Structure 1
Amino acid sequence: MNPFEDMRLFCQVMESGSFTAAAEQLGLSKQFVSRRLIQLEDRLGVRLLNRSTRRLDVTPLGQSYYESALRLLSDVEQVEQGISGQNSEPRGTIRLSAPLSFAMAHLGCLLPLFLQRYPHVSVEVDLSDRPVDLISEGYDLVLRIGTLEDSTLIARRIASIPRVYCASPAYLAEHGTPLAPEDLAGHQCLPYGHSRQVQWRFQVNGKVQHLNVSGRMRVNNGELLRDTAIAGLGVTYLPTFIVANALQEGRLVTLLEAFAPEPLTLSAVYPQHRQSSRPVQALVEFLREKLISGC
C-alpha cells in the first residue's frame, strides 16, 4: 500500500474522466486502476466516486480528497525536485495546446529558443483553434486568448494582444470608409467564428458598445479572413499578429482607431497539480519574457 501512489491514481482518474483514459495515461490496465481505487475507498471507509456504465461522478468527499491530494502531491513534487536538483535545471515533457494562428506567428521562432535554453525539456505541441478540455485531454499547459471562464484551473497572464478593424484600399475606394461603428451597417463585414450572430466591440465615450455585424463569409481562421479582406471583400477585425505584415505593406489599412476596444489577453492555463512543475513554469516565464519584450 502506497498512499501517495493511490492519490496519484485517483487524481489521474479525476482529470481524465474515466478509468480507461486514466489507465492509458499511466500505462496501466483499467482493471488495475479500478481495483486500486476500490481498495482506496475501502481503506478510507468512504465513497469517492459514483460509478455508472456511462460516467463517473465525484462525491463531495471525493472532491475534498482530490483537492487535498493535489496539494500534497504538489508538495511532494517540490521536495523531490529540490533533492534531485531540478530547481536549477528543468527536466521532462510538456504537452502544450495553442491557437493555430498565434502559434504560427510566434511559437515557430520561440519554441526552438526555449528548447535550446532548456536541453532536458521536450515539448509536444497540438495546434487548434477549438477550446480544448485541458484536463480530460491530458495537457500540461494551454495557451488561450480572450476571457477565461471561472474554473479550478490556474491562469497566468502572458501578454496583451491588440486587435484592429481593417480593410483593403480597393474595398474602401469602392464602398467608402466607415467613420463610426454604426457606419458598418452599410458594409460587408468578415467576422470570425461560425455563430449566426456575431458582435464586434467598440469603445464609445469610454463605454463598451457591441454591434451586430454580418457579411457573406464567416470562418474560424484568422489568416483566411485576412486574405479575404486583402482581396477586397469586406471589413474584418483581427489581432495584430495576423495582419501586421499586410498593414505594413499597405495591403490593408486600419479603420475606426478611435473606437478600438481593449486588447485581448493571452493566458497560460494549467491544472493545479502542474503549479510546481519546473518545465511548465519555465515555459510560462520564457513566453512572458519574450512576448512582453515584443520578441
Structure 2
Amino acid sequence: MIDHLRQMAIFARVVDEGSFRAAAKDVGLAPSRISETVSELETYLGITLLYRTTRKITLTNEGRIFYARVVEMMRSAEAGLNELNALSLDPVGALRISIPAFLATGPLSTAVAVFAKRHPNVAFSVAYTDHPLDLIDGGFDMSIRVGWLEDSSMMSRKLANGQRVLVAGVDYAQGRKSPKRPSDLDDWDWIRYQQRSDTTEFISSTGKVEKATGNAQIEVDSIDAVYHLATQNMGVTILPSFLADRGIASGELIQLLPEWELSELGIYAVWPDKSRRESLTLLFVRFLAEEGLCHPEDGKMA
C-alpha cells in the first residue's frame, strides 16, 4: 500500500506541474522514472489515467475522478503535517501563489520575503501576472486579486484597501494650467494601463462624482512601464500609492487633484475550498491580513 501511496502522490504532481519533466524536476527524479511510476499505477488500477502526447498530458475521465480523490487524500495528510508543524512553530511545505504583476515591487512581494525568512522551511513559487488564472488548473494554492470579487466557490479574505494616486511628471504638469476638477484633464495626454478602464471616476469632498476620459498616446500592460513613462513626462496617469509616493519623493512626479478621491481597490486572498495545503495557506493568509501588508503607522496598504 505504501508504494501505491507514493505512486498516487507522483501522479498528482504530474497533473499539477503539467508534464513528466516538470514533475521530475520538482521531486528530484528522472522523467523516465516518473513516467514509469504513473504507468505502474495505471497497471495496478487497470485503467488509463493520462492521455500522453509529445506536447502535453491530459486527464482521462477516470483520471479526473481519481485525481480529485488523490488531492483530497494529500490535502488531509498535509493538513495533519501542517497542524503538527504549527505546534512546533516551524511550518514546512511549499506554496504556489499568484500575485498581480503591478504589485511585484510593492508590499506584497516584501511580505513574501518576510514570511519566507521567518519560516525557512517554506518554499514559494510565485507567478506575477495581471491576467486571470485558474487556481485549480494552474495548481495554485492561493491567488491575490484586486478589485471586486465575483461570486465563486473559492474561499477569500480581504487583506487591505489599495490606495491610488493621480500623478504626472513635474515638467509635464508645469507646462499646463493647474487642473481644478477632473474634467480639466480631458485634453491632457494620458498614459493608459491596459487593465484599467478608459474612464476614471473621481469623488469630491462633498461626495460629487465626476469622470475624466483623456486621450492616450501610449498604452502599456506594465504598471512599472506606466511609472517610468510618467517620470519621462509623457502625461498624466494613476499609480498605486507605493509607486506614486516613490516618484513624488524623488521629485519626478507631482500629485494632481489631491482634493478629489479615487475609489479604493480591495486586495483579497483567494484560495480553493479544499486546498491541498490548507493549513499552510491559511497561515500565510493570516500573516498577510494581520501584518504582511500594512504600514503600522496608518494601517493602509502602501
Q: How does 1:219-238 map to 2 (within 5 A)?
A: 219-238=220-239
CA drift of 1:224 comes to 4.2
Residue matched to 1:255: 257
Residue matched to 2:106: 105
Residue matched to 1:27: 28
Unaligned runs of 5+ in 2: 297-302
In the alignment, the residues of structure 2 paired with residue 59 and residue 151 of structure 1 have an alpha-carbon distance, to the nearest angstrom, of 26
**Deviates most, 83-92 or 64-73:** 83-92
Evaluate the alpha carbon distance shift between residue 135 and residue 17 of structure 1 in structure 2; reply closer, same or farther with a 3 A threshold.
farther
In the alignment, the residues of structure 2 paired with residue 56 and residue 150 of structure 1 have an alpha-carbon distance, to the nearest angstrom, of 31
Provide the identity percentage. 26
CA-to-aligned-CA distance 1:172-198 (integer Å, 9 cap, x gap): 4433345565554411001224x8x96
In the alignment, the residues of structure 2 paired with residue 207 and residue 15 of structure 1 have an alpha-carbon distance, to the nearest angstrom, of 49
How many correspondences in the alignment? 291
Q: How does 1:200-219 map to 2 (within 5 A)?
A: 200-202=199-201, 213-219=214-220
In the alignment, the residues of structure 1 paired with residue 151 and residue 22 of structure 2 have an alpha-carbon distance, to the nearest angstrom, of 25
In the alignment, the residues of structure 2 paired with residue 270 and residue 244 of structure 1 have an alpha-carbon distance, to the nearest angstrom, of 35
Q: Do residues 121 (structure 1) and 127 (structure 2) align?
A: no
CA drift of 1:131 comes to 4.7
TM-score computed with the length of structure 2 as normaliser: 0.72
In the alignment, the residues of structure 1 paired with residue 60 and residue 127 of structure 2 have an alpha-carbon distance, to the nearest angstrom, of 34
CA drift of 1:161 comes to 1.0
CA drift of 1:234 comes to 1.1
Residue matched to 2:198: 199
Backbone CA RMSD of aligned residues: 4.2
Evaluate the alpha carbon distance shift between residue 84 and residue 177 of structure 1 in structure 2; reply closer, same or farther with a 3 A threshold.
closer
Unaligned runs of 5+ in 1: none
Residue matched to 2:13: 12
Residue matched to 1:42: 43
Q: What SS is found at the alignment partner of 1:70?
A: helix
CA drift of 1:292 comes to 5.5
The letter for the 2-side match of 1:4 is L
Residue matched to 1:276: 278
In the alignment, the residues of structure 1 paired with residue 15 and residue 150 of structure 2 have an alpha-carbon distance, to the nearest angstrom, of 20
Question: Contact 1:247/1:254 (CA < 8 Å) preserved in 2?
Answer: no
Q: What SS is found at the alignment partner of 1:54?
A: coil
Evaluate the alpha carbon distance shift between residue 43 and residue 272 of structure 1 in structure 2; reply closer, same or farther with a 3 A threshold.
same
Evaluate the alpha carbon distance shift between residue 12 and residue 112 of structure 1 in structure 2; reply closer, same or farther with a 3 A threshold.
closer
Question: Contact 1:268/1:284 (CA < 8 Å) preserved in 2?
Answer: no
In the alignment, the residues of structure 1 paired with residue 257 and residue 236 of structure 2 have an alpha-carbon distance, to the nearest angstrom, of 9
Q: Do residues 288 (structure 1) and 296 (structure 2) align?
A: no
Evaluate the alpha carbon distance shift between residue 199 and residue 56 of structure 1 in structure 2; reply closer, same or farther with a 3 A threshold.
same
In the alignment, the residues of structure 1 paired with residue 142 and residue 233 of structure 2 have an alpha-carbon distance, to the nearest angstrom, of 38
Residue matched to 2:58: 57
Q: What SS is found at the alignment partner of 2:218?
A: coil
In the alignment, the residues of structure 1 paired with residue 43 and residue 283 of structure 2 have an alpha-carbon distance, to the nearest angstrom, of 40
In the alignment, the residues of structure 1 paired with residue 60 and residue 153 of structure 2 have an alpha-carbon distance, to the nearest angstrom, of 17
